[in-house]
């Protein structure tokens, strides 16, 4: 008979991933050792190896887990089939909410994905592309004429740049929390999107 997992297995696993993500984000993946991960977790290295076979397995789990959660987030919002403007606002709110609790994992995804082996890297980046595509489709639904001149994805990347940069300057104990900033970002992007005009050069290329 197969032995079941001990109570608290998943919680312990997530705790290890959280500490590893923080170390990778602050020190970089190559400069972090399994000894340091074990010390940060308050566990023996043997216990860490019970959950993850090596440091690379930690990296894969952090990057793939984070982007998979983003993928589910987009799918859940799209499934609600709201009007494009409401859907875009909800996507922004949910992505800011997710990033607020996953800043270390997101930094690992953006900076340490290059250390993944080709198959793992392509899988993770493929999921990341799907997340961006989900946002871009909503932008295109809101402004179809911009999709005709291939601006939906560039505008989406500008949105992600705004959200990603926000976590570089926001203070955890500041006057504005993530919920408040999500509304500001949505107002700024959705309101600004209405004012975007296709560049003349882009219009000519599209003809």
pLDDT for residue 45: 95
Q: Which helix (H) or strand (E) holds 150?
A: none
Q: Determine contact, residues 166/144, Cβ cutoff 8 Å.
A: no
Rounded Cα–Cα distance for residues 139 and 102 (Å): 25
What is the token pair recorded at 86? 């409401």
The distance of Cα 75 from the centroid of its chain, to the nearest Å, equals 14
Q: Which residues contact 65 (CB under 8 A, 6 or more apart)?
A: 17, 105
Percent of the chain residues topping a pLDDT of 70: 93
pLDDT for residue 152: 93
Q: What is the pTM of this model?
A: 0.86
**Average pLDDT for 173-181:** 81
- pLDDT, one tens digit per residue, over 108-126 is 999 999 999 999 999 999 9
- pLDDT, one tens digit per residue, over 77-111 is 999 878 999 999 999 999 999 988 888 999 999 99
Domains and CATH numbers, the chain: 64-206 (1.10.357.10)
CA-closest candidate to residue 146, choices 89, 195, 86: 195
- pLDDT, one tens digit per residue, over 30-81 is 999 999 999 999 999 999 999 999 999 999 999 999 999 999 999 999 998 7
**How many alpha carbons fall within 13 Å on the CB side of residue 191?**
6
Q: Determine contact, residues 140/147, Cβ cutoff 8 Å.
A: yes
What is the token pair recorded at 111? 């900076």
Rounded Cα–Cα distance for residues 85 and 92 (Å): 11
- pLDDT, one tens digit per residue, over 146-160 is 888 889 999 999 999
Our CA angle for 199, 205, 206, nearest 5°, is 90
Q: How many other CB atoms sit within 10 Å of the CB of residue 5? A: 9
pLDDT for residue 2: 43
CA-closest candidate to residue 71, choices 122, 132, 113: 132
Residue 201 has pLDDT above 70, yes or no: no
């Amino acid at each position: 008979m197969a032995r079941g997992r001990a109570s608290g297995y998943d919680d312990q696993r997530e705790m290890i991933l959280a500490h590893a993500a923080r170390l990778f984000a602050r020190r970089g993946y190559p400069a972090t050792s399994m000894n340091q991960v074990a010390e940060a977790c308050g566990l023996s290295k043997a216990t860490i190896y019970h959950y993850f076979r090596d440091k690379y397995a930690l990296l894969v789990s952090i990057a793939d887990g984070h982007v998979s959660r983003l993928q589910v987030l987009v799918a859940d919002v799209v499934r609600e089939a709201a009007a494009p403007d409401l859907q875009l606002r909800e996507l922004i709110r949910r992505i800011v909410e997710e990033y607020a609790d996953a800043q270390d994992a997101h930094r690992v995804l953006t900076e340490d994905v290059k250390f993944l082996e080709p198959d793992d890297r392509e899988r993770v980046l493929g999921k990341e592309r799907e997340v961006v595509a989900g946002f871009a489709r909503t932008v295109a639904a809101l402004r179809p004429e911009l999709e005709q001149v291939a601006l939906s994805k560039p505008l989406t990347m500008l949105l992600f740049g705004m959200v990603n940069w926000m976590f570089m300057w926001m203070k955890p104990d500041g006057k504005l929390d993530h919920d408040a900033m999500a509304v500001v970002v949505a107002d700024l992007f959705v309101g600004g999107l209405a004012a975007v005009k296709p560049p003349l050069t882009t219009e000519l290329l599209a003809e």
